[in-house]
Amino acid sequence: MNSIDERFLTRNGHAARRLSALLINRPTEGDAARLPRVRDLAAELGVGNGTVQAALQLLEESGAIETVARGHLGTFLVRADRAILWRLSGLGTVLAAMPLPYSRRYEGLATGLRSAFEEAGAPFAITFMRGAAARVSALLDGKVDLAVLSRFAADQLMERQPIDLIADLGPATYVGAHGLLLRHGVQLDTEGLRVAVDPASEDQRSLAERAFGGREDVTWLESSFIRLHDLFAHDRVDATVWSLDEVQGKLGDEVEVLPLGDEIPGDLSLRNSSAALIARSEGSEALAAVSGSLDLETVTSLQAEVLRGERTPAY
């Protein structure tokens, strides 16, 4: 362990670590780069003025920041190495829960999220979970800092759970589109239509109920995407609504793909296709530290490159 590391284990070093978390999001240009007064930082950290001054000096010596005093205007932050600040802060790795990466679109989304967080100086990792409810449960239990859902599922769950919307990445960032799947030889008006529904998916269940829920003769069969091919192939299901990202080229010739009808409002389709980032309402210290410097355009632009085949997924 070098001398600087040892100094970060002292009282001044502990204050420097806490100060690191406060400085990660601070701009380094213009009036916004002016640091709070030492006494204000001391009050926020619950330490003395001298401790704050020593903590700032430690951060400068470590290469984490560079400041310039401009007389009565105050002290300005002119350079900040977010990666060093993050390491010193001890905030750890930001962990996100995402759907299983079964589609190029999800691989692109994972690639974009990882790049955006790492550019902001935050170590980032992904855990993949099937079902919006499972991802929200992990979020509420504090097992992850961030969860990725469709905007539709996020809106539904925010009404019932203490979670907040961090960002809506826009149409076609979660799925491209949904389609109506019909086994060949079966008509939509067939009596006793057997319809597959995924109980783990807020989106799929809602769309299927919209498309077929007005009929009393429908038989609902619970299924996941993994089982869907076998159910169609062995004549155990007749129809469903599903994400085309999942099914195209994967269900064989026995299934016909039809467009969804007017029973699916345009707003619902848009919210089902948009990726939403959500967090606990009480917040995650790690997520709060990085959110101000997160470039969401990086996420969508890299996702688009993966979808066009111009970038290899890396997550």
pLDDT tens readout for residues 147-183: 999 999 999 899 999 999 999 999 999 998 888 999 9
Q: In this predicted structure, what is the pLDDT of residue 26?
A: 86
Tell me the C-alpha distance between 156 and 173, whole Å. Answer: 18
**314, exposed or middle or buried, with CB in 10 Å at 0-12, 13-18, 19+?**
exposed
pLDDT recorded at residue 94 = 93
Q: Tell me which residue of 228, 239, 235, 232 sits closest to 180, measured CA to CA.
A: 239
In CATH, what class is 94-174+274-307? alpha beta
The pLDDT, as a whole number, for residue 264 is 66
What are the residue ranges in the chain where pLDDT is below 50?
A: 1-4
Q: What is the DSSP string of 295-312?
A: -HHHHHHHHHHHHTTSS-
Q: What is the pLDDT of residue 265?
A: 62
Fold of 178-265: D-Maltodextrin-Binding Protein; domain 2 (3.40.190)
The pLDDT of residue 251 is 76
Give me the pLDDT at residue 178, please. Answer: 85
Closest CA to 242 of 253, 257, 222, 227: 257
Q: Return residue ranges of the chain for CATH 1.10.10.10.
A: 3-89
> Which residues of the chain are in CATH 3.40.190.10 domains?
94-174+274-307, 178-265
**43-82: per-residue pLDDT in tens?**
999 999 999 999 999 999 999 999 999 999 999 999 999 8
Cα–Cα distance between 79 and 172 in angstroms, integer? 37
User: What is the structure's pLDDT at 93?
Assistant: 92
Query: Taking a C-beta distance cutoff of 8 angstroms, is the pair 166, 146 a contact?
Result: yes
Rounded to the nearest 10 degrees, the angle between the axes of helix 202-212 and helix 132-140 is 140
Helices 11-23 and 38-45, packing angle to 10 deg: 100
User: Which string of b and e fits 237-262 if b means at least 16 CB within 10 Å?
Assistant: bbbbbbbebbbeeebeeebeeeebee
CATH number of 3-89: 1.10.10.10
